[in-house]
Structure 1
Amino acid sequence: MTEVTLFFREFTRTRRATGAIAPSSPRLARALTRYVIPSPGGPRAVLEVGPGTGAVTRYVVEALGPLDTLDLVEANPRFAALLAETYAGDGRVRVLTGPVQDHELGSYDTVVCGLPFANFDAATTEDILGRLVGALRPGGTLSYFAYAGMPPLRRALTTGRARLRVLELQSVIGRVLARHRFRSETVLGNLPPARVHHLAPVAPVAVGAGV
């Protein structure tokens, strides 16, 4: 079974968890991995959450140095099995099966996330984003994507309790972006077009600063 066939089969089985309707395009993969940069100063630790069939993972692995490490956290056991088979011979790569909330994360220089936050509730999204930002080392980056134009469309097409859930979710994401985002970019060459957000941890304010 090809990766694309497996992806579409799992999309029809677990549409809410899979989220995407097609694997990430090369352009989206390059945008998501923009900050996976080998460091001459020493080994770097990278985390990819929700790698799926590995469309973005290939670009992450290509950017790894010989001493770097990559943790892949994939909730779908079929996708996780495919990834484990694909990278069985690469000692830098470790595959963790299950939701990211079930794992004790280390500290990372770069986090790449492909989770479909639009399909999650506000509390779950806030928890996951908090964990990922909290796992970043000083100077680290978190990159994730959402489909372009979807937030206003969801607000327009939902009513009642569903609309309240959408507003709560978008409020959580908006707060996280306002605090941590340093760059966004639109990727038109993807199905559908996507918006990639790059985030960084915020240094704590020193006591008495600005007084």
Structure 2
Amino acid sequence: MTRYITDSLGRLDTVDLIEANPRFADLLRQTYADDPRLRIRTGLIQEQELGSYDTIVCGLPFANFDARTTEEIFDRLLGSLRPGGTMSFFGYVGGETIRRAFADGVDRERTLAGLGALRRILRRHTFRTETVLGNLPPARVHHLAPVSPPAHSEPVPTCDCRNTSP
């Protein structure tokens, strides 16, 4: 995925790559050492100082996360998008079904809660989903955008029109 992204970058574009696995982050540093457009950071997304982005491409396995972690990550990423920005990520077709089928006990409760959080986020933020049947296994690519908070956070007062005397 990184190679595809870097191949499509313009001369002035920049990319922040955040990788939790230190060994893989080192491999990325070696592979892209000569490309000044890439900044490679090691650690969890929740621990990073994020910038402001036009586009975020995420390869995290959200079906494996608990609800709180899923919500934290999406809050951070969607909150880092500039107005008009988009976030894209993928999941495998049937992945949810497989996770539900093989999880049991406490893991099943955690899995179901995490998948529920993911579905709520998708309902609120998704503007397009594509299915890629040529991928093995087939994948769904979700494209999301931040949703502005309501214009009024407090209820608008209503008029009690029965009391109209001067």
- The answer, yes or no, to whether TM exceeds 0.5 is yes
Equivalence map 1:167-178=2 (5 Å): 167-178=112-123
Query: Which ranges in structure 2 are unaligned for 5 or more consecutive residues?
Result: 157-166
Q: Equivalent residue for 2:94?
A: 149
* TM-score normalised according to structure 1 size: 0.69
Which residue identity is paired with 2:116? Answer: S
**2:63 aligned with 1:118:** yes
Inter-partner Cα distance in structure 2 for 1:130 and 1:118: 16
Q: 1:87 Cα shift? A: 1.4
Which residue identity is paired with 2:3? Answer: R
Equivalence map 1:27-176=2 (5 Å): 56-176=1-121
Query: Which ranges in structure 1 are unaligned for 5 or more consecutive residues?
Result: 1-55
Q: 1:205 Cα shift? A: 2.9
Q: 1:160 Cα shift? A: 2.6
Aligned alpha-carbon RMSD (Å):
1.6
The CA deviation string for residues 93-136 of structure 1, in whole angstroms up to 9 with x for no partner, is: 11001111111101100000001112222211111111111111
**2:133 aligned with 1:188:** yes
Q: 1:192 Cα shift? A: 1.7
Higher alpha-carbon Rg: 2
Which residue identity is paired with 1:171? Answer: G
**2:117 aligned with 1:204:** no
Identity %: 63
